[in-house]
Amino acid sequence: MGILRRKVKSPHAVPADARHCAQCGRPSLKRTVATYPVELSGKLAGRRIDVYRVEMDKCRHCGMLVPTTEGKAKVDRCTKKGIEFFLKHLR
């Protein structure tokens, strides 16, 4: 009956390469999707671009939100397009 025997990973085990919170240093991060606001500067000072559905890590202890690598790429893409839109249409 080797089919019924399986190894089950403990849900509480922390992997060796775990990400840590930048604010409190704890390795208890949870992936979540949230809106990330980007405040613009320079010619567009006072305007804000809200990037929706950004993949982020949320600290379970202090609640700090930090974009993941994929989330940062999306924020960069959307910010670039938003700046191009504002400069083209709002003169």
- pLDDT per residue as tens digits for the range 30-44: 999 999 999 999 989
Q: Where are the domains of the chain?
A: 29-89
DSSP symbols for 16-83: TT----TTT--S-EEEEEEEEEEE--GGGTT-EEEEEEEEEEEETTT--EEE-HHHHHHHHHHHHHHH
CB atoms within 10 A of CB 68: 16
- pLDDT per residue as tens digits for the range 5-17: 766 665 555 555 5
The position carrying tokens 């085990």 is 13
- What kind of fold does domain 29-89 have according to CATH? Ubiquitin-like (UB roll) (3.10.20)
- pLDDT per residue as tens digits for the range 47-76: 999 999 999 999 999 999 999 999 999 999
